[in-house]
Structure 1
Amino acid sequence: MTDPRALRPAERLDEFLSLVGQVARKPDADLRVIAEWLPRELGAEAAIVNGVLRTVELSTAGFSERVLDHLEPMLTRLANGRVASAAMDVGTAQVRLEAVGAELPRRVLVLVSPTPLTRQAAALASRTGGIIAVLHRARETDRVIRSYQQKAHQLRVGVIMALQAGDPLLARRMTTGSVPELLDCDRLRVHILRCAKDDRERIAQAYQDPSGYHGDGLMVGCPVYDEHLVCLIADRDGSGAEATDGLAAVLRDLVADNPRYALGISSAHPLPATAEAYGQARHALAVASNTPSRVAGYRGQEPLERLLPRAEAIEWAGSVLSPLTGLPELTNEITRLAMHFHRSGVARMMNVSRNTVTAHLGRAQAALGLDLRDVRCRATLALALGVAALHREVGHAPAQADPPALEELLHTRPAAEWGRTFLEPLRDARYHPVHRTLRTWIDTNADAQQAARRLGCSRTTVAAHLRTAERRLTRDLLSSGSGVHDLVHALHLSGDTPL
């Protein structure tokens, strides 16, 4: 390697600027490569020292920290801004100290050389120390920005979780001083963009405003599914038509430009019904993933719980859920979430371990007397929880000695019509194999391998039939519990499977 001191000034400057450029371009690059330039250039070892704590933040390989024991009280005076520079003898070494940076307490550049530095060398060292201080401060700024982005993300997740729980007022309280526009609207739509995990934060940041929100929408990476970007967008029009501008248009354009993306869109819902809108968007996304445009709006029916006779449904749901009233609130919330998400996803949402989720579900299962590993039991519990979410009176009315059975609620004309309409897209003879696969899949507790054995086909065939069913029924069957629960009830109402 050529000795830097043999280079011409322009060449030496080019070498130094090249080092600075390398460090500036790479946030994780080691600043030591710049510090090591000093001993090569000046024949002096160097360090950047916190003058208050007397700790070395950056140093060249040959720098000895023992020299710091001889530099007090000068280090403190430099750090406090009382002195700009100083020169000292420590044994046979020549030590030069210079305060760098503008903020107090200032860092101190310490140079140790066998002979005193020339004025030119001292000036060069000073400028190098200043550049290192600037790069260090830039790193600190980057860390602050990343921390801000993380906090903004956490706040957005909190707002969405509050809306999912049906509590817009809590969401407003969480955003005191900077309430997002979304919370001032009456209705919203949920859009779920399926994209690469690494793209989610980039997209959310690209359209983020200075307040940390997204105009009249909110974008946040789903805490359960790594490839989902959840977007809540205000429905300002009120006409029932999907928006064609703003964030809605941005999301459609992203799908059009990237063949790996897909977009599911809910219908418009009041803010307290965000959870229902989210479920619709997940069903729509399953459909979008199997269509050429890769964009789909929800075209399904009303949820079954809305069609059940009100008084009887409230009484039935209260009798099913009453064993949960004596359990901790966390157990109830985990149980509710487990009806819609896999256990690992629930653990991530609640910031607990998967084993903790399993323990809470075991407690709920014992209290309810239901086998929550069985898809039909989960469908029954999910329907009761849906009724409770729809009617706040559940659990508050006096318990009846002989509450109605679920069979009584389902044997009504609206429920029967719901079941018939649900399965209507599979009535065509072309889809009879798909219909048969669905019956067998539910009979085998939604186990594709067991269903394939019973049907005498491959697991791939079962999966293909399930994807076809998703598209035809506009339901997510492979990742969403609610779609499977609806299928259980529809097959029972059609007489295909027992409940």
Structure 2
Amino acid sequence: MLSTQGFAGRIDELLPLLGRAARRPGAAGELEGVADWLARELGLECALLGPAGAVMVATPGFPPEVLTLARPVLTRLAAQGTASAATRIGEYHVLLEALGTSPPRPVLVLAGTLPPDRRAVAVASHAGSLLAALARAREAEEVLAAYQRKAHRVRLAVTMVLMTGDVSLALRMSAGAVPPLLRAERVRVCVLRCAPDDRELIAQAHQDAAGFHAGGLLVSCPVWDEHLIGLVAEEENEPPGAVDRGIPALLSDLVAANPRYALGLSRPHPLPQTARAYEQARHALAAARTSAGRRAVFQGTASLEEFLPHEPARRWARRLLAPLDGAPRLTVDVLRLALQFPRTGVAVLLGVHRNTVAAHLRNAQRALGLELEDAASRALLALALRLAEPAAEGPAAEAARAAGAAGHRRAPWAPYAEAGEAGEAARAWAAAFLGPVERHPRGGELLEVATAWVRANGDAQRAARRLGIGRATVRTRLQTAERLLDRDLLSDGPGVQDLTLALLLTGRIPHPPPLS
């Protein structure tokens, strides 16, 4: 049995163990190391039970039957004022000591074939108190980790709802802890490209007690592993320097300090148009990747739907989408997201299996009579979905389907095919959109590569073969076009769709076959 003098001589072994366990309360093995030291020095087996009676840590040789047979005593010690108890269970002498003052309390259990002397009991009591403190630190860290996970889920849910334009639902989801963002008139979206493991560290380091960030939101993108999304409130009369304060300034400082980071920022948008602001931030990030400071604010031309007269464009979109009238809501949601993200990302966003995503896309493709892998079809369909919604199931949907079936064959592919104001607006948009590339000294070859890229449905190898150049050259020229157009062209999504619409309008690529 260890004497007090022996214990004092070996205390230098215990202190480093306690220090490591205190610094890393959640690390596997640190708490166990302290328990093993205590058992080794006292010649006793050791177990620490949490307030609920679960074993928090135990030495490998601790006899489990002791805990079973001592359960009544353990319950009494955890719940009542009794400080300690000693008993005999089979061949073991058992010492039980409650730790702390507020029930339910942790209980330290020591078991050995010889009874412990008073000095060993005193040492065990002090060391047990330290074990209990470290165990509480571990529990606190686990509670904090659970809170961080839940805070992230709430932030992500609020962000995804804002992407749908439903500000009222986002307010209800915030459950009283409403960030100023949800009361703001406008929102600016930032997208930081960084290491995947850095995203939550950044979000956690700067969140407030409610789990938000300086009145806005920072949330790890569920689709792109290297993207951290920031949503920032901006008022109508915000001064020009708004991007140099708050979350934008924080993310800009991180970019300046880390050469692997890049940042894209949108223009301010009305809060219900958060999705449009997010698209702009993604486009700006593509430009930032090749800019000197790796930071860019979206400066490109807005998307086509913002230039079209509302009613003619909406009528065209309704005719195009008529075959989806009455389709399950999930089919429409899958289709909309699949025009922006990879199918695996769609599955993550909707919480469904990839096979479910594929099945809904097949159903939509059959109903619409188009090939969803075709870039032109995807661009026109995405435009239609931004302009209108398929009718929900019911009498209105039946009537819309009947009208659509009668007029769908002659429905033009695009609203700019209609005479008058819509066509003029669309052509003016295309000229403004492609202008930065056309004015570039090498604009001809850049447009040639962009056109081949779209014709190849985003396949760089096919585009390279068509042009007789290398695949790397295709990507390099597309990156130059990205910077000039302020569009993300290398990931299939809104940027490629805007480019495709501009190429359709200028006659550089043909329209897809009419629906039958």
Fold equivalence (TM over 0.5): yes
1:464 maps to a residue whose letter is T
Residue 165 of structure 1 and its aligned partner are, at CA, apart by 0.2
Q: How does 1:461-472 map to 2 (within 5 A)?
A: 461-472=473-484
Matched with 1:208 is 207
Give 1:363 deviation, angstroms: 1.2
Match of 1:450 in 2: 462
Q: What one-letter code is carried by the residue in structure 1 that aligns with 2:184?
A: C
1:23: how far off?
2.1
Equivalent residue number for residue 497 of structure 2: 485
Give 2:514's aligned residue: none
Q: Answer whether contact 1:312 1:409 (CA < 8 A) is retained.
A: no
For 1:496, the equivalent position in structure 2 comes to 508
> How much does 1:483 deviate?
0.9
What is the TM-score normalised by the length of structure 1? Answer: 0.93
Counterparts of 1:309 and 1:49 in 2: how far apart (Å)?
70
After the TM superposition, which of the residue ranges 17-26 and 190-199 deviates more from structure 2? 17-26
Opposite residue 279 of structure 2, the aligned amino acid is G
Q: Return closer, same or farther for 1:222/1:51 CA change in 2, 3 Å cut-off.
A: closer
How far apart, CA to CA, are the structure 1 residues paired with 2:246 and 2:463? 45
Matched length: 494
Q: Could you tell me how far 1:309 is from its partner in structure 2?
A: 3.3
Q: What is the CA distance between 1:210 and its match in structure 2?
A: 1.1
Structure 1 residues 66, 229: closer, same or farther in 2, change over 3 A? same
Specify whether residues 9 and 304 from structure 1 end up closer, same or farther in structure 2 by C-alpha distance, changes over 3 A only.
Answer: same
- Give the Cα–Cα distance (whole angstroms) in 1 for the partners of residues 468 and 254 of structure 2: 42
Aligned twin of 2:290: 290
Q: Is the CA contact (8 Å cut-off) linking 2:308 and 2:426 kept in structure 1?
A: yes
Partner in structure 2 of residue 171 of structure 1: 170
**Structure 1 pair 215–56 and aligned structure 2 pair: CA distance change class (3 A):** closer
Does 2:36 correspond to 1:36? yes
| Counterpart Cα distance in 2 of 1:72 and 1:311 | 75
Give the Å deviation of 1:91. Answer: 4.0
Structure 1 vs Structure 2: percent identity of aligned residues?
Answer: 48
SS of alignment partner, residue 197 of structure 1: coil
1:419 to 430, 436, 440: 430
Which letter does structure 2 place at the counterpart of 1:64? Answer: P
User: Aligned partners of 2:63 and 2:51: how far apart in 1?
Assistant: 16
Alignment-derived partner of residue 190 in structure 1: 189
Matched, 1:476 2:474: no
Question: What residue in structure 2 maps to residue 437 of structure 1?
Answer: 449
Distance across 1 between alignment mates of 2:302 and 2:203: 31
Do the aligned residues in 1 keep the contact of 2:320 with 2:411 (CA within 8 Å)? Answer: no
In 2, the alpha carbon distance for the partners of 1:231 and 1:339 equals 22
Query: Is contact 1:280–1:298 with CA below 8 Å preserved after alignment?
Result: yes
Superposition pairs of residues 63-142 of structure 1, within 5 angstroms = 63-142=62-141
Report how far residue 431 of structure 1 moved. 2.5
RMSD: 2.5
Partner in structure 2 of residue 275 of structure 1: 275
Contact 2:264/2:298 (<8 A) preserved: yes
Cα deviation per residue 1:268-292 (whole Å; 9 max; x = unaligned)?
Answer: 1000011111111111111111111
- What residue number does 1:388 align with? 388
Q: Which structure 1 residue ranges, 5 or more long, are not aligned?
A: none
Paired with 1:486 and 1:288, the residues of 2 have a C-alpha distance of: 19
Answer with 91-100 or 216-225: which moved more.
91-100
2:338 aligned with 1:338: yes
Q: 1:68 to 1:307 in 2, by over 3 A?
A: closer
Contact residue 3 and residue 119 of structure 2 kept, 8 A: no
1:16 aligns with 2:48: no
Q: Is the 8 A contact 1:308 1:410 kept in 2?
A: no
What SS does the corresponding residue of 2:240 show, helix, strand or coil?
coil
Distance verdict in 2 for CA 1:444–1:51, change over 3 Å: closer
Aligned CA distance change for structure 1 residues 242 and 159 (closer, same or farther; 3 Å)? farther
Q: Is the 8 A contact 2:2 2:120 kept in 1?
A: no
Mapping 1:277-426, distance limit 5 Å: 277-388=277-388, 399=403, 401-402=406-407, 404-407=411-414, 409-410=416-417, 412-426=423-437
Residue pair 2:186, 2:236 contacting (<8 A) in 1 also: no
Alpha-carbon contact 2:433-2:502 (below 8 Å) kept: yes
- Does 2:155 align with 1:156? yes
CA distance in 2, matches of 1:72, 1:307: 75
Q: Secondary structure at the match of 1:136?
A: helix
Identify the residue that residue 262 of structure 2 maps to in structure 1.
Answer: 262
Task: Point out 4+ residue stretches in structure 1 off by more than 6 angstroms.
Answer: 3-7, 395-398
1:108 positional shift: 2.2
1:295 Cα deviation (Å)?
1.1
Report the TM-score, using the length of structure 2 for normalisation. 0.90
8 Å contact from structure 2 (residues 316, 415) kept in 1: no
Q: CA deviation at 1:301?
A: 1.7
AA aligned opposite 2:268 = A
* CA shift in 2, pair 1:356/1:102, >3 Å: farther
Q: CA deviation at 1:463?
A: 0.8
2:4/2:119 contact within 8 Å kept: no
